[in-house]
Structures are given as C-alpha cells and as structure tokens.
Amino acid sequence: MNKRLICLATGLYLAGTLQAALACTTIIVGKGASVDGSLIIARNEDTSNAVDPQLIMRHDPSTEDYVFRSNSFGNPANNQFSWQMPAGTLGYVAFPEWESVQAGNPSFEEVGFNDRGVALSATETIFNSDAVLAVDPYLVETGIGEDGITTVVLPQAASARHGVLLLGYIIEHVGAGEGFGVAFTDAHEAWYLETVSGHHWVAQRIPDDAYFVSANQGRFQQVNLSDPLNVMASAGLAVFLIEQGLYDPSQGPLDLFACCIANGTHDQTYNYPRVERLLSLYSGLDETGKDGRFSLFPTPSEKLSIADVARGLRDYYQGTTHDPYTHQNPQEPWRPISVLRASLSHITQTRSELPVAIGRVNYIALGMTALSAYVPIYWGLSELPAEYQHASDQADDESLFWRYRKLQTLVFQDYPRFAPKVQQAIHAFEQENAREQRQMEQAYLASYQQEPAFAKSLIQKFTGAMLTRQRVMLDQLTTTLARQLDMQDLRNDDYTRMIHEIETSYHFHGA
C-alpha cells in the first residue's frame, strides 16, 4: 500500500508535503492448506503514518448506474481515474479510509466481501522493472490504483475469476496507475493478480494445498500462459514482451521476474526478510540467498489456522538480533512485518461448508498488529459496530482505532517492559473470543433453519459482548500503563503528537 504516492517509471518517488510510504504484507492460504478447509486472504494495511484509520461501511446494492471518481487526495496524487458502474451492482461490506468517507466518496476500501461471497484485498504495492515501464509506463494521472480497485471491482465480481478479469480489463483498457498485487477468493478458490506494466497483468490461482506470501515485490516467476485453469493474463502479453525485446522464447518459458519485476539492493532489507521469515515460520524453509526468487506456492509444515496467519502478520523478528522494538533500535535495517504505521490488518476467511452468515468472516486488527487483537466481524452481523465507523487523524475518546493507538503509544515508552504484558492480555482476550465463537456458531447451526431471526441475533449478541470485553481490556491496560508512566494527564492532542513522533522514528524507509 502506498497512499499519496506518485510512482514514476524512473523509480523516483514524490509525495508533495506528505511522507511517502511503501508497505503491506500479504498472506493467502489455499483451502487444503488450512486447518478447517477455509480459504484465507490476509494483509497488513500499512499507511504513510500512524494516524490514518480505516472505517467499516456497508454498501447496499445499486438500482441505478453511477460513476466512480478517484479522490483527489488519492494514490497516485491527483489521479483522475473514473469508471462507469452499471445498475444492479452487488451490496458489500468494506473498510474505506476515513478521509474518503469524510469527503462523501468512500474509497481505499482495502478489503471486503460482497453479496456473492467474493472477497477482495487491495493492494500489495509492487514495482515493475524500469525496462518494462520504459515501453509501457504506469498511467499515473488516469490509471486505476488502490483508491478505486475494491470500490469498482467488488460490487461487480460474481466470482474470484470474474473479479480478476474485471480488474484485468480495466488495466488493459484504462491502465494501471501504479504497480500492485490484488488477492481474490470465493467459495472455491483463491487468486492473486500482479501488474506487469501500465497495461499488462498476470494472475495465478493459489494451489489448494499451498500458501502464498508477498512483501512489496512482485513474486511471479515462470508462468505458463497455456494453463487457463491456473493462469490468466492480459491479451497479447507474450507478443508484447517479445516485440519489446524483453522475452526470447528460445531461451525457455516466460520468466516475469527476470523481465518485469524490480529487484534492487533495497529489496534485500525491506522486502526479502519478510518473505524469508514467513517461509521459515510456516514451512521451515531457509531461503536466504535466493535473490528474490523465493518459493512461490509452498506447502506448510502443518496446516495453518487463523492464529497462525495472525502470528505471521504480527512478526517483527522476535528472538533475533533484528528485532527493532525489543532492542529499541529504530535504525534496524530489516523492515519487520508488524510496523507502527499499520492502520488495519485483516484475515478474511471463507468457510464454504457453513451458512454464509457465519461462513464469511473478516478478522480485523487496528493499528500495529503486534499490539492489537484480531476481532471477528461476521457477514451475518445485522448492525455494524459504531466504534469502527468513526475515527480521524486526531485522537478521540470513542473510536476503537484510537483506543488501540493510545495503548500503543504508551507501550512504546518502554517496549521491552510493557509489550509482553499487553500481548499476554490480547492473547487471553482472543482465546476467550474463540471459545465464545465456537459456542455461538454451534447455537447458530442448531437454529438457523427453523428460527433464522433468532439465529441472526446470536451473531449480534456475541459481537456486542465481545466488543464490550475489548473496550474494558483496552481501557484497563491504558489506565495501568499511563499510571506506571505517570502520564495520566495526557490529552488527545498529546496522544496524536506522540504517536506521530514515535512512528516517524520507527518508519523503516524503503521499497
């Protein structure tokens, strides 16, 4: 994710008076690689600073056509992308950026489910090579980018494949405003799309028994364009690359990493370590020295759970010399997976064997993942939580985003001392949630066919009780830490200033 960033083909980055940021880590799990047969797409939404919250919003199906227009503050800056949306689009729930909601034009919606059970996560920022961008550059001023992908594609996608084709069509006919990777799932399969250039793209299906990870660098290597069940691509891709001298068929299969993916010295500290860490955690692989060509679709040593995915998204090289937080070393060269400028992290789960109301779940963590709980938001939730619908770039006393940010601010006053206590409390909270979830889902399954209204109320009741427990946990932790630090009198503007200053110190620049 790189909000408010202009990415030029030359590799230079401009962001006006705003600080550029290049971030996000993605994990996708095939249904045969998960403990319960679910499909999972997950991503840390890392923004340019620590005061850029995402909100939750439900969109009703449309009855009339309309035009989506990029927000002027969007990425790329001053982008003028627009798209004609047809009448009859699907309803969906997503997580737009607060500033877009305030402007009355929700965008940067990051992740969501639609009425057909399609889930989409956008985007993982990647960079295509200077060679391919020299002949087909990004359409910075008019192409589609993170600002519009979820908002345009999710309301129209009837399946994961259909979502890939919709986004691919836009890239081919209007162009990509930046380099990106986008994840899709439905009840049956998961796909990941990567840009190749301004008008070209490739998508691959995640094998059922495998998982996929990405960290701000294109991951596709050799691709078989003659395998439509598992690979989709822009029309004429191979011909384009041959004509531009970027691919020679006599030298073997098409290798996208060689011709179309940026791979520089900065990747070795900003991107490589995150992928290497996840491959080690999940498969016991040691892939140091692979120069970016890491295993694409490995199988896990043990099937992965929601907790396993959360563990990966929370990682900051704990137990190693590269742990920047425990060692209180803002100059650590390895960029960790969990960073303070995360606005939101999601683990989006599809369990096709269950009724859709409880089979589609977004586990949402706010702020820095290492110091935040993943909370399940069910598709069947009648009323979306008010605490997730209001927040801005200024601290407040109501939103959950700022409850977490205030706690995270205090932890960073003495991370080695306070982080273990907070993480222990979050773990206990999540364990209690898991127990309550199992009981609620069992009760739902026992009643949803004969008493659908009652069954639906169980989801709302569970969510309300869980949110109350979360508020109590956060308030108690924050009060305790503030007292121990003699910071009981901090005001909201103090928290806003302090979290910004801490994040600036631990920003981890790079791409």
Give the integer Cα–Cα distance in Å for 469 and 461: 13
Give the integer Cα–Cα distance in Å for 334 and 50: 19
> What are residue 435's phi and psi, to 5 degrees?
-65, -45
Q: For residue 212, what are the β-bridge partners?
A: 28
Closest CA to 24 of 251, 243, 275: 275
* Dihedral of alpha carbons 349, 350, 354, 357, sign: positive
Q: What is the DSSP string of 410-450?
A: HHTTSHHHHHHHHHHHHHHHHHHHHHHHHHHHHHHHHHTTT
Q: For residue 345, what are the β-bridge partners?
A: 44, 365
Closest CA to 393 of 112, 73, 72: 73
What is the total residue count of the chain? Answer: 511
Residue with tokens 């909000």: 3
Give the distance between the most distant pair of CA atoms in the chain.
Answer: 71
* Dihedral of alpha carbons 173, 176, 180, 182, sign: negative
Chain centroid offset of residue 45 CA: 5
Contact 121/230 with Cβ under 8 angstroms? no
Give catalytic residue positions.
24
Give the integer Cα–Cα distance in Å for 392 and 394: 5
Secondary structure class of 96 (helix, strand, coil)? coil
- Residue 117, Ramachandran bin (φ over 0: left; ψ between -120 and 50: alpha; else beta): left
Residue with tokens 């990004």: 138
Q: Under 8 Å CB-to-CB from 11, ≥6 apart: which residues?
A: 127, 130, 262
Q: How far lies 365's CA from each of 283, 338, 368, 373, in Å?
A: 25, 12, 8, 5
Question: Residue 175 has what DSSP assignment?
Answer: -
Contact 146/3 with Cβ under 8 angstroms? yes
Q: Give the pair of three-digit tokens for residue 436.
A: 């309550």
> What are residue 381's phi and psi, to 5 degrees?
-70, 120
Closest CA to 27 of 468, 338, 379, 378: 338
Q: Under 8 Å CB-to-CB from 91, ≥6 apart: which residues?
A: 58, 59, 60, 61, 114, 115, 155
Q: For residue 213, what are the β-bridge partners?
A: 27
Q: Give the pair of three-digit tokens for residue 188.
A: 């049956």
